[in-house]
Structure 1
Amino acid sequence: MTKPLKLPQPFEPLFDYPIRDTSICIGGDGYYYLTGTTGSPDWWAVTGDIQVWKSADMHTWTPVITEPRKRSTVWNVDRDGTWQKETALRDGAPFRPLWAPEIHYLKGTFWITYSIPRLGNGLLRSVSGRAEGPYMDHIATNSPLSPHIDASLFQDDDGTVYFLCDNGKIARMNEDMTALAEELRLLSPSNAEHVGFEGTFLFKAHGRYYLAGAEFIAGDYHCYVASSDHIYGPYGERYLAVPHGGHNTFFQDKSGQWWSTFFGNDSNAPFRERPAALKVEFDEQLRIRPVL
């Protein structure tokens, strides 16, 4: 009988700052870079900052921009945006949050995907090659890259970059990453309509493609994963990979160890809305599970 998955104990945040949807990557300089949704305490209000932190060892984190009034903000909707500035009403209150920025290091520079609910998602490129930017909107049409929520990037072994969003949608990008080169298609596991209803992330390990997504089950926000030998599938059954780990990303550290990010959405998670990372491993069936 398969034992239920558990989180390792003790398990602590990386630092004490309210962040959701934690994303971590390694830059070309060997530092770890972190971003995620900010805007506490009202995550559904009018926000707009993208903040980035860095660390040499994943223990001590510092803002990439140290000017206090900028709060490590590398990009801001009102200062730098165009189509992103439109504000809607939700239940009679102003609504324009910026959700789930992800940071990626590809093609010699940093890229940040993000979403503005009800407007769409976009792609930023650091024109300096540094994580602190400055960042520019990389989409030539001056409009959202897609009308969905959540966004991510995946670069395959041949250098091709794919855009992902929403509940498992994917499309190959053109060579200069200014547009989608094909229509979005939905990647579905064999036992469900989608791997998760949001928070899609794709990575490759052991020669297989691992598709992750976030899903609420009985009120808890989990990370589910399905895998395939081919990027467009077919994908196998989805399974619980990281309990309470919904909307996470996966990355390798400098020694090759795999990690999952974490932020603590659930009331019974080890902590609430703080950035974290936990080691994961692959079992005999090459399924992901936390390292206890």
Structure 2
Amino acid sequence: MQLFLFLLLAFSSGDGDIVTSSLSKPREIKAALLAHDRAIHVKDGWIRDPYLVKGPDNFFYLTGTTQSSQQEETEQTKYNIGLGDSSLVGYELQAWRTKDFITWESLGVPYTLEDGVWFRTKPEKFNSTPKESWRLWAPEFYFVDNKVVVVHTSPSPVGGANMSVASSIEPQRPWVNPMGTKIGRRHDPSLFRDDDGTWWMIWGATLIAPLKPDLSYFSGEAVEIGPSGENRKMGHEGCLIRKIHGKYVLFGTGWSTGIMRKGSYNLYYATADNIEGPYSERKFVGRFLGHGTPFQDEVGKWWCTAFFNANVPPLAKKDIQSRDLSQNA
């Protein structure tokens, strides 16, 4: 099966080769969406792991790894290439929504680490760690029984994940944590609803397990899945599943060199007839699409989000196809 994905969101505001067009006029965005043949720069603002999903209210909801909502953007923070202690990633989940990818409504900060289970159960960790060192990574929205569900991972103050449920389809407080601390430490958790209504959790690279209907825990044992053939790993993070043309499509993110922060941050996929596999060999989706979200627009066309993730500012486009990028991110 061949799978074609195009960039929709490119959050770098530089002249990198992710951004093929920086559009501001509504008619240009509409034309590019209709053409479906190039990257479309539809929103500015620093973000990693941009997750986009269509809600039951026909809005497209966007969230991702962000800096603090109070952080003023400067030339130094625009790319936020710092890692570890120098990272500007915050502990807040920021969110936006749109119906046309032209007008974006900010939903503010509807969720933070303080809404998750670890803030309540491990207060000593939070009290002993400065807030500027709290980290909320890779949040995602899902809609389960007319309620929005947030899943995310966090390295600090507690190395763990959260799965939190709101009381409606609006991402807003109060949040409950049905799995409690049993969710444990699961890197980049993602959810998938199968055709029979079963919800699955996907994490790492790659484990999957079915969830109980009330999301209180797993209803079965975790199963390790991945591509067959020579490369038996999807990568190292950002794994998710979609059902496309009757096939289970497992997406995963990895560096082109197989070494952390060396080369380009790419998106790969493998397919199967059964969610537990066996899966095909790993195939290439796109360069620089790592931890992007494959999604369908309102007319069914497939797109993928993209974002800046490098140790250096965006590179010039000239000769980018043949340039050796393996020495750095």
* TM-score interval, smaller chain: 0.7 to 0.9
Partner of 1:58: 101
Inter-partner Cα distance in structure 2 for 1:103 and 1:79? 15
Inter-partner Cα distance in structure 2 for 1:94 and 1:131? 24
CA distance change for structure 1 residues 167 and 37 in 2, over 3 Å: closer, same or farther?
Answer: same
- The question of 1:264 aligning with 2:303 is answered no
Q: Give the TM-score, by structure 2 length.
A: 0.70
Alpha-carbon distance, 1:213 to partner: 0.8
CA distance change for structure 1 residues 207 and 84 in 2, over 3 Å: closer, same or farther?
Answer: farther
Higher deviation after alignment, 191-200 or 220-229: 191-200
Partner of 2:250: 211
- The question of 1:255 aligning with 2:287 is answered no
Q: Which has the higher helix share?
A: 2
The count of residues paired between Structure 1 and Structure 2 equals: 257
Larger radius of gyration: 2
What SS class does the counterpart of residue 98 from structure 1 fall into? strand
Inter-partner Cα distance in structure 2 for 1:149 and 1:84? 19
Partner of 2:112: 76
Alpha-carbon distance, 1:154 to partner: 0.1
Higher deviation after alignment, 248-257 or 9-18: 9-18
Q: Which has the higher strand share?
A: 1
Inter-partner Cα distance in structure 2 for 1:88 and 1:234? 46
Partner deviation per Cα, 1:181-223 (whole Å, 9 max, x = no partner): 2232221101323212111111101000010111011321100
Q: Percent identity?
A: 30
Inter-partner Cα distance in structure 1 for 2:55 and 2:208? 24
- The question of 1:24 aligning with 2:49 is answered no
CA distance change for structure 1 residues 134 and 250 in 2, over 3 Å: closer, same or farther?
Answer: farther
Inter-partner Cα distance in structure 2 for 1:18 and 1:201? 23
Higher deviation after alignment, 43-52 or 108-117: 43-52
Alpha-carbon RMSD across the aligned residues, in angstroms, is 2.9
- The question of 1:152 aligning with 2:190 is answered yes
Q: Give the TM-score, by structure 1 length.
A: 0.79
Higher deviation after alignment, 5-14 or 243-252: 5-14
Unaligned runs of 5+ in 2: 6-16, 22-38, 69-79, 258-262, 317-329
Pick aligned residue for 1:13 from 37, 41, 50: 41
Alpha-carbon distance, 1:84 to partner: 6.7
Unaligned runs of 5+ in 1: 65-71, 272-292
Alpha-carbon distance, 1:43 to partner: 6.0
Partner of 1:282: none
Aligned residue identity for 1:212: F
What SS class does the counterpart of residue 18 from structure 1 fall into? coil
